[in-house]
Amino acid sequence: MPSVPNILPPPALSPAGHAEGVSNDEFRAAMARLAGGVVLVTAQEPSLDPGDPTAPPAEDVGMTATAFMSVSLDPPLVLISLRAGSRMDDLLDEQPLWGVSVLSESQRHIAGRFAMKGRLSDRLLFEDIPYRRGGFTEAPLVGGALANLECRTEQRVVAGDHTLVIGRVLAASLPSAEGGPLMYFRGRYRQLG
């Protein structure tokens, strides 16, 4: 008679939806041990008042992210994880074109600037940062970044309190070969080495 593997039942869920014994703080602490690269995700928000000729035609929006990864080579796909209901999540739900700048270790100030809570205006955040507009997306792409990608949303997947946005890469460039990547580890920006 073939042996049957011992299959354990899944852990019981607490009222908050977590497996028994796993708190938000424990989960955060465990995930903080996973080093990740730092990117700036950007897009253009269409004019909020297209009927007003004095209103700006569009506004640049940016967000620092560490949950970014390559998904597929053929076709070229990437994934970004966005907090559900965040400004960038809402924008990319309506605007399918966006950009990603892979930040270098010398661009820590950019990462910190776009990660601030309660900031007043993205327009002011872009003011003194060198960037160019993507040819496919019109999204700001940071100068001196290790890589710039232009993407079009292919799929959105709701995953708990986040949205996974899968984008097809329309263009890629390597603006700078200088320096190493900016990393995020144990709640702080870090450099390799």
Task: Give the total number of structural domains in the chain.
Answer: 1
**96 is a domain residue:** yes
Please name the helix (run of DSSP H) or strand (run of DSSP E) that holds residue 132, with its range, or none: strand 131-133
* pLDDT tens figures, 9-21: 665 555 555 556 7
Structure-token pair, residue 170: 């329309």
Bridge partners of 148?
101, 173
Could you read off the pLDDT of 45-82 as tens digits, one per residue? 987 777 777 767 788 999 999 999 999 999 999 999 99
- Note down the domain range covering 135: 24-48+56-185
* 167 falls within a domain: yes
- pLDDT the model gives residue 119: 66
Does some domain include residue 4?
Answer: no
